Structure 1
Amino acid sequence: MHDVLLGFEKFKDISLNDPFFDSLKSDYGEFAEWFQKKGDHQAYTFRDAAGLLDGFLYLKQENGPVADTIPPLRSSHRLKIGTFKINPHGTRLGERFIKRAFDVAIHLRVEALYVTIFSKHSALVDLFLRYGFVQEAVKHTDNGKELVLERRLDLVWNDVVRDYPRVPIGVGRHFILSLYPQWHSRLLPDSLLKTESSSILQDISHTNSIHKIYLAAMSGIEQLRRGDTLLIYRTADGGSAYYTSVVTSLCVVEELTNINNFATVESFLAYCAPYSIFSDSELRTFYQNKRYPWVIRFTYNLALSKRPNRKALIEQIGISANMYWGFFQISTSQLEHILQLSGDHEKTRSLVYSS
């Protein structure tokens, strides 16, 4: 496992001679010339602990139609995924890059994202299709025929994964789930507090993935169902909970199951391990003693810009100070008020939909 080193670098500071780019040079005859012209443009990069490139993502904002495809794409405010490459090594880094593209799209409030890609890159094509991208056209160049995949953010599938990062707020079921700091920051890497170091993160599946799994025993968890909104509440780690416990993240429930539904420990591990913060040995122990019977799978949709603390939740949102804060339901108006306090209400207005 390597430290997560997800950076933002200028093209001119990245070596084009890195073997990482060999496949891109092979696919695109003009890649080297294009790369050198970018100079001061920036790309998201992922480097391992030795400083070697393992991932590269270039995003470009566009307005208007896309005229060089058959058929052309209608005029829109789009985010083009210009270059997307990872060295697969079983840690779901592709999902982390997809999430970053969506994060930028939300910030820029674009109407759509699109990418051109050769069909031979089937694993990457499947990754895009999983998150609501649809083949809308093809593009012919001297390099061959590419698929043109577009994801409209103004189109609703009424499906938690294909609609990601949109949130089915209209379903009217919203809950707050508390996580201890040591679990919270490993599971939700974009929701670190300013006082936390990114060195606590690692290049492992549960850090990189859009999908998360958490085991819990709290009362009320059993009522969760697909499409419910989850606000993640990070508990205090030394200071007063009144000031240092904060809401950090907006998520959506994919599935709730019970540990007793798994006939064997192997089937339990197969379900949990790719997305869980717990080690295989911890999961085996949990399976044996059934101490945490509820298994929640959810998508990690948004890290809140500002984190309302317990004081704000009590004094401004109207949550009772005397209630059990491990897990509880809130109203749609309370959720919207929390998003207003976080500064994300305007940003998320285009992302919510009725289900």
Structure 2
Amino acid sequence: MGRKLRLTKFKNLSLDDPFFDSLKEGYAEFPKWFARKAEDDLYVVDDDTELSGMIYLKMENGPVNDVAPPLPAGNWMKVGTLKIVGKGTKLGERVIKKIFDTALDKGATGIYVTVFEVHKQLIKLFKRYGFVEHGTKTTDNGVEHVLTRSLTDHDQDILARYPFMDFSGKNRWLLAVYPEYHTRLLPDSILNNEPQEIVQDVSHTNTIHKIYIGKLSLTRMKKGDAVLIYRTSDKKGPAHYRSVATSVCVVQETHSKKDFASVDDFLGYCLPHSVFDEAELRHMFATYGRLYTAKMTYNVAFNKRITRGKMIDEAGVPVQPRWDLKPLTKEAFDEIVQMGQINESIIIN
């Protein structure tokens, strides 16, 4: 088992765990604070033996006056305590994704986090996803940076705007994924009729970036385009009812085989965010004459899966051409997204 991000309570953790040593050193009041939070929920990152991360998220309504300058009135979600051991970018992505998922679920209008200067990688990670320097917070423990991210004012950059999407002037596509790969690629989008064991901790293994690899000419898709992920039939019934739209991604970039200087170049690019292991990727590179990749951000999973039948009958998606990589009209895409019952604020336009 790899490291998992899971929900628990403070009372289920031991303050004597060496993981907490640096937090006790950095914050004199940490043991008392920890004890007060006994019944509160938090996320931890661990494997079967070792704690390697914690994330405590807390809603604060109104202005935030203990930072300089104060934060204006709003529904702020504070990243109260955050520590991640190790340099895994995928783990950082999982944490960021969980922060955004929780903020949207709680109706936050903004997020803020306080970080000491020494945690440069953490600051860099937050800034990558649209957090900006706001000011400072000064306590007996020292001076921390205050980083904020608005959930109502949106950046033009795909990552700085994540998870929000703006498809004005962009194309919209349906992209097919076989069932055996779908749940590995998009754990949030597990279907109600799939056995839960396929994903040990649904959504918590998830990362923001995904790489789709195939023989389809993916370079038709351009940066910023919408991608409706379509899980093909599991053959347990007619595709009309068993094939479903599950989620929406945004294209970051596409490549063809010739863009990779070598198999090692290809491996370095694909391994961190693909469902395939090294042996599978090497086999693809050696044997596929046509080979394409699409790097995407995974922005939202549908709360209700939409069948192929509904897409044809209610959204007007034509049966032809084939449902592998298929252009969608804005009207059809919007109708499918609406049927998917996602948080309406996620798509800006």
Normalising by structure 2, what TM-score? 0.93
Q: Assess, with a 3 A threshold, how the Cα gap between structure 1 residues 332 and 76 changes in structure 2: closer, same or farther.
A: same
Partner SS state of residue 135, structure 1: strand
Structure 1 residue 114: Cα displacement: 0.8
**Which range moves more in the overlay, 112-121 or 41-50?**
41-50
Q: Which residue of 2 aligns with 1:20?
A: 19
Structure 1 residue 191: Cα displacement: 1.2
Partner SS state of residue 19, structure 2: helix
Partner SS state of residue 215, structure 1: strand
What is the RMSD of the two structures over their aligned residues, measured on CA atoms? 2.0
Q: Distance in 2 between matches of 1:198 and 1:122?
A: 38
Q: Deviations over 1:295-349 (max 9, x none)?
A: 10000111111111112111111112343111111122222211221111xx23x
Does the CA-based 8 Å contact 1:166-1:351 persist in structure 2? Answer: yes
What amino acid maps onto 1:134 in structure 2? V
Q: Distance in 2 between matches of 1:237 and 1:123?
A: 42
Partner SS state of residue 322, structure 2: coil
Q: Distance in 2 between matches of 1:193 and 1:274?
A: 24
Q: Which residue of 2 aligns with 1:352?
A: 347
Which of 149, 155, 159 aligns to 2:147? It is 149
Q: Which residue of 1 aligns with 2:114?
A: 116
Q: Which residue of 2 aligns with 1:324?
A: 322
What amino acid maps onto 2:14 in structure 1? S
Structure 1 residue 61: Cα displacement: 1.2
Structure 1 residue 292: Cα displacement: 4.6
Structure 1 residue 197: Cα displacement: 4.5
Q: Distance in 2 between matches of 1:218 and 1:164?
A: 27
Q: Which residue of 2 aligns with 1:184?
A: 182
Q: Assess, with a 3 A threshold, how the Cα gap between structure 1 residues 123 and 199 changes in structure 2: closer, same or farther.
A: farther
Which of 156, 163, 166 aligns to 1:165? It is 163
Q: Which residue of 2 aligns with 1:11?
A: 10
Q: Distance in 2 between matches of 1:292 and 1:125?
A: 40
Q: 1:74-89 maps to which residues of 2 (within 5 A)?
A: 74-88=72-86
Structure 1 residue 201: Cα displacement: 4.2
**Which range moves more in the overlay, 102-111 or 292-301?**
102-111
Structure 1 residue 138: Cα displacement: 0.3
Which of 211, 225, 230 aligns to 1:228? It is 225
Q: Distance in 1 between matches of 2:302 and 2:3?
A: 21
Q: Which residue of 1 aligns with 2:282?
A: 284
Structure 1 residue 77: Cα displacement: 1.4
Q: Distance in 2 between matches of 1:170 and 1:351?
A: 14
Does the CA-based 8 Å contact 2:315-2:331 persist in structure 1? Answer: no
Structure 1 residue 151: Cα displacement: 0.6
Q: Distance in 1 between matches of 2:347 and 2:317?
A: 23
Does the CA-based 8 Å contact 1:286-1:292 persist in structure 2? Answer: no
Q: Assess, with a 3 A threshold, how the Cα gap between structure 1 residues 333 and 231 changes in structure 2: closer, same or farther.
A: same
Q: Distance in 2 between matches of 1:280 and 1:352?
A: 35
**Does 2:195 align with 1:200?**
no
**Which range moves more in the overlay, 89-98 or 268-277?**
89-98
Q: Assess, with a 3 A threshold, how the Cα gap between structure 1 residues 90 and 199 changes in structure 2: closer, same or farther.
A: farther
Does the CA-based 8 Å contact 2:4-2:205 persist in structure 1? Answer: no
Does the CA-based 8 Å contact 2:57-2:78 persist in structure 1? Answer: yes
Q: Distance in 2 between matches of 1:42 and 1:64?
A: 22
Q: Deviations over 1:121-158 (max 9, x none)?
A: 11111110100000101000011000000011222221
Does the CA-based 8 Å contact 1:165-1:301 persist in structure 2? Answer: yes
What amino acid maps onto 1:331 in structure 2? T
Q: Distance in 2 between matches of 1:280 and 1:149?
A: 37
Structure 1 residue 243: Cα displacement: 1.4
Partner SS state of residue 161, structure 1: helix
**Which range moves more in the overlay, 98-107 or 13-22?**
13-22
Which of 62, 65, 69 aligns to 1:71? It is 69
Q: Deviations over 1:63-100 (max 9, x none)?
A: 11111111111112111111122222636111101101
Structure 1 residue 104: Cα displacement: 1.3
Partner SS state of residue 80, structure 1: strand
Partner SS state of residue 168, structure 2: helix
Q: Assess, with a 3 A threshold, how the Cα gap between structure 1 residues 94 and 198 changes in structure 2: closer, same or farther.
A: farther
Normalising by structure 1, what TM-score? 0.92
Q: Any stretches of 5+ residues in structure 1 without a counterpart?
A: none
Q: Distance in 1 between matches of 2:71 and 2:157?
A: 24
Does the CA-based 8 Å contact 2:177-2:232 persist in structure 1? Answer: yes
Partner SS state of residue 229, structure 2: strand
Does the CA-based 8 Å contact 1:3-1:201 persist in structure 2? Answer: no
Q: Which residue of 1 aligns with 2:37?
A: 38
Partner SS state of residue 304, structure 2: coil
